[in-house]
Amino acid sequence: MVNLMLIDTNPVAISASLVLYKPDFVAVERTLQALECAAQTASEFYKLQLQLTLVDNSSDQNFDNSVSDWLENFRARVPSWSLQLILSKENLGYGRGNNLVIANARSTYHVVINPDLFVEENALLEAIRYMAQNPDVGLLTPAVFGEQGERHYMCKRNPTLLTMYLRSFSPLWLQSVLKSIVDSFEMRDCDYEKSIHPIEYPTGCFMFFRTGPLQAIGGFDPDFFLHYEDADIGRRMLQIARVVYVPQVRVVHQWARDTHRSLKAKLITVRSGLLYWRKWGGIFASRSSVGLPDVTHATAACGTQFAANPNRRILVTGAAGFIGQAVCSDLSARGYQVIGALRQQLDACASNVAQYAEMGDMHEATNWSDALVGVDSVVHLAARVHLMNDSAQDPLAEYRRVNVDMTMNLARQSATAGARRFVFISSVKVNGEYTPFGQPFTADDTPHPTDPYGVSKFEAEQMLSQLALETGMEVVIIRPVLVYGPGVKANFLNMMHWLQKGIPLPLEALENQRSLLAIDNLVDLIATCLHHPAAANQIFLASDGSDISIPDLLRRTGIALGKSVRFIPVPVMALRGGARLVGKTAVVQRLCDSLQVDISKTRRVLGWTPPVKVDDALLKTAQHFRRASN
């Protein structure tokens, strides 16, 4: 039997740089042999052009001669790589040494590798595949293990003076007392078996760059001699591209911390730490370095546009609500015949529709037959919304009565009436309450609702999916994150009141990331789901496509309001401790924790991109707020 192997015939050029300083030749040979093995594996699938440049920083004639002689004797053992040697006249340091190669690279990808780093056999193959499939990624960082198979936690958040001290100089007892700070810095709250992005501080032992973005940022900052140059380049790369941890790319590192070995090593570390701090700031907390407006998750795909049919009648429940009003207005403008389902006639003025169906108090026995006459599709928004302090004796029963029983009553009658599609607005709470930083929920994750509201929405989703199988009516489920826009209520409205009044806020130290959703983006997605053929019987997560920390949200909302934000520097630990004392743990947890969603499926399946940028949506929200306040 012949084994056929498909090879991508487009050449993939990879350059690599390896900086030496009085090297251990045994370790370097092992490094190069591992690269050769990985190159041979990758060459079974790609046509590779590989060039590795060694930069010898020893600045010692005897070592220079030794390195040159060794390389000439060893060259034949790595035939896949074209090897070059640069002999530096002085010790340039790690970053400047690599820059000698980066500046002249003519490659698709560039690898920065340590002389004691051993890639696994499929590391290059997996790296090339991932980068080819994700063109918005500028830097890939790998899973790092020790020689005994132990995991090294090398995905890190932006360093601060506190974390620099704790990891490099503090006594063991203090590291033990403040272990939670170090664990958070090393992103141990994330699942290292899954992809993590964005990575603010990637490991410097193996860095797989896309050469274009790397050269665009000028390579490493030459001011860093050793240490924290990787933290700096990670921050700068995040301004123009994504930095992603990919667990399928595995390496082994003969890692040995040199910070404590000598006074000279300690002084180098201190100098680099202070240089980083002067450049980026951060004593107890550091501002997020994610600068792109729309690179948090996957790149948008271009899709086919399907025009709305003006003859279609759409029934919208919850038409007088915050989202319902916007949906009715938008769909009417697109030419749909919109029927707003309202409790009473008085709500008609708020619903933005010419036609409405007065339904009274909607429940599990409501008769929808008149409202459904001639209806092509239903957008179901009406629900018992999430309440922070629910006073119901049995909250889950109340949520089920409205969010499950009423929903299914409407859905069954819609199917009987011949409705083609049923768009159900669910909630991200079906996925869960929070995410580890950099590991967003996806539409295909196993649901994990934790409160009665989330449970009821998930149960409705399951029953709707079953109804679709039984009746043929198409069901589309949308799980939005927190929605904001003109007329927003609850916590977002409170936040604008705080900013308007100039109240000092103790939230500057928060380093979380939150996905939000502008109401204009939500209604555009709903309109897309009404007519797009590929939306049928799918679940989509919905957000603005870019994540934001609470401090940045406050700053950007303040700009929209024309107000300066006043912060009080309070450590996160103190915030959480104070919340426990006053019984507000849940409120502060929502402020401190991250909740991110990955909308790549929504983009890919629907060819949909959020049409409204965050700052534009915040400005529109702020303008409405100011008018209402006046």
Query: How many angstroms separate the CA atoms of 535 and 543, rounded?
Result: 17
**How far is residue 106's CA from residue 104's CA, in Å, rounded to a whole number?**
6
Cα separation, 94 vs 19, in Å, equals 7
Q: Note whether residue 284 is domain-resident.
A: no
pLDDT at 389: 59
pLDDT tens profile 121-151: 999 999 999 999 999 999 999 999 999 999 9
For the stretch 251-304, pLDDT in tens is 999 865 554 557 788 888 899 999 999 999 888 766 655 544 344 333 333 333
Does residue 167 belong to any structural domain of this protein? no
CB 475 within 8 A of CB 464: yes
Half-sphere exposure of 17 (CA within 13 A, CB side): 28
Angle at CA 112, nearest 5°, toward 106 and 116? 145
Q: What's the CATH code of the domain at 133?
A: 3.90.550.10
CB-side exposure of 403: number of CA atoms within 13 Å?
25
Q: Which of 231, 257, 283 is the last residue of a domain?
A: 257
Rounded CA-CA distance 142/154 in Å is: 9
Average pLDDT in the 481-504 region? Answer: 94
Q: What is the mean pLDDT of residues 154-176?
A: 90
Do 229 and 376 share a domain, yes or no?
no
**217 band by pLDDT with thresholds 50, 70 and 90:** very high
Measured CA to CA, the distance from residue 78 to residue 34 in angstroms comes to 9
Q: Could you give the CA distance from residue 232 to residue 274 in angstroms, rounded to a whole number?
A: 12
Pair 317, 308: CB distance under 8 Å: no
What is the overall mean pLDDT for the chain?
Answer: 89
pLDDT band, very low/low/confident/very high, at 562 (cuts 50, 70, 90): very high
Q: How far apart are CA 357 and CA 362, in angstroms?
A: 12
Q: Which amino acid makes up residue 447? A: P
Of 293-297, 367-371, 380-384, 558-562, where does mean pLDDT reach its minimum? 293-297
**Cβ burial 23-32 (10 Å sphere, 16+ → b, else e):** beeeebbbbb
Percent of the chain clearing pLDDT 90 (strictly above): 72
Claim to verify: residue 210 and residue 330 sit in the same structural domain: no
Same domain, yes or no, for 474 and 395? yes
Q: Do 347 and 243 share a structural domain? A: no
Q: What is the DSSP letter of 441?
A: B
Rounded distance between C-alpha atoms, residue 172 and residue 178, angstroms: 10
Question: In this structure, what token pair is assigned to residue 168?
Answer: 């490099």
Q: Do 222 and 332 share a structural domain?
A: no
Sheet of strand 375-380: strand arrangement: 355-358, 337-342, 313-317, 375-380, 421-425, 474-480, 538-542
Question: 521: pLDDT confidence band, cut at 50, 70 and 90?
Answer: very high
Q: Is residue 24 part of a domain?
A: yes
Of the three residues 257, 283, 301, the one that is the final residue of a domain is 257
Whether 302 is in a domain gets the answer: no
26-38 per-position pLDDT tens digit = 999 999 999 999 9
Q: What phi and psi values does residue 556 have, to the nearest 5 degrees?
A: -70, -35
Asked whether residue 403 is assigned to any structural domain, the reply reads yes
- Start-to-end CA distance of the chain, whole Å, equals 80
Element (H, E) at 247: strand 242-253
The radius of gyration computed from the CA coordinates of the chain, to the nearest angstrom, equals 28
More confident residue, 10 or 93: 93
Taking residues 231-251, report their average pLDDT: 95
Rounded mean pLDDT, 351-356:
67
- What is the predicted pLDDT for the residue at 303? 35
Instruction: Look at residues 492, 612, 622 and name the one whose alpha carbon lies nearest to residue 545.
Output: 612
Span 483-492, average pLDDT: 93
129 CB contacts (<8 Å, ≥6 apart)? Answer: none
Show the domain range for 131: 8-158+191-257
Number of domains comprising the chain = 2
In a domain, 13, yes or no: yes
Q: How far apart are CA 276 and CA 326, in angstroms?
A: 47
User: Could you tell me if residue 178 is inside a domain?
Assistant: no
Q: Please check whether residues 376 and 242 belong to one and the same domain.
A: no
Q: What is the percent of the chain with per-residue pLDDT over 70, rounded to a whole number?
A: 91
Work out the widest C-alpha separation in the chain, in whole angstroms: 93
Task: Report the C-alpha gap between 358 and 339 in whole angstroms.
Answer: 10
Regarding whether 228 and 328 lie in a shared domain, the answer is no
Which segments of 104-185 are extended strands (E)? 109-113, 117-119, 137-145, 151-152
Provide the token pair at 525.
């997605």
* 228 shares a domain with 339: no
**In this structure, are 245 and 385 located in the same domain?**
no
| CATH number reported for the structural domain that contains residue 539 in this entry | 3.40.50.720
Residue 548 has pLDDT above 60, yes or no: yes
What per-residue confidence (pLDDT) applies to 10? 85
Secondary structure element (H or E) that encloses residue 50, with its range: strand 46-56
Which helix or strand (DSSP H or E) is residue 216 part of?
A: helix 211-216
- Pairwise CA distance, residues 585 & 141, whole Å: 35
Give the bridge partners for 342, in sequence order.
Answer: 358
> Is there a single domain that holds both residue 404 and residue 530?
yes
- Residue 234 pLDDT > 60: yes
Choose, from 109, 399, 453, 484, the residue flagged as catalytic.
453
At residue 344 the predicted structure's pLDDT band, cuts being 50, 70 and 90, is confident
- 453 is a catalytic site residue: yes
| Shared-domain flag, residues 199 and 336 | no
Whole-number Å distance between alpha carbons of 190 and 437: 7
19 lies in the same domain as 104: yes
**Torsion sign across C-alpha atoms 434, 438, 441, 446:** negative
* Dist. CA 42–CA 33, nearest whole Å: 14
Q: 144, 132, 277, 279: which is closest to 207 by C-alpha?
A: 144
Q: What is the mean pLDDT of residues 401-421?
A: 96
Residue 389 lies in a domain: yes
In the structure encoding, which two tokens stand for residue 27, read together? 């370790």
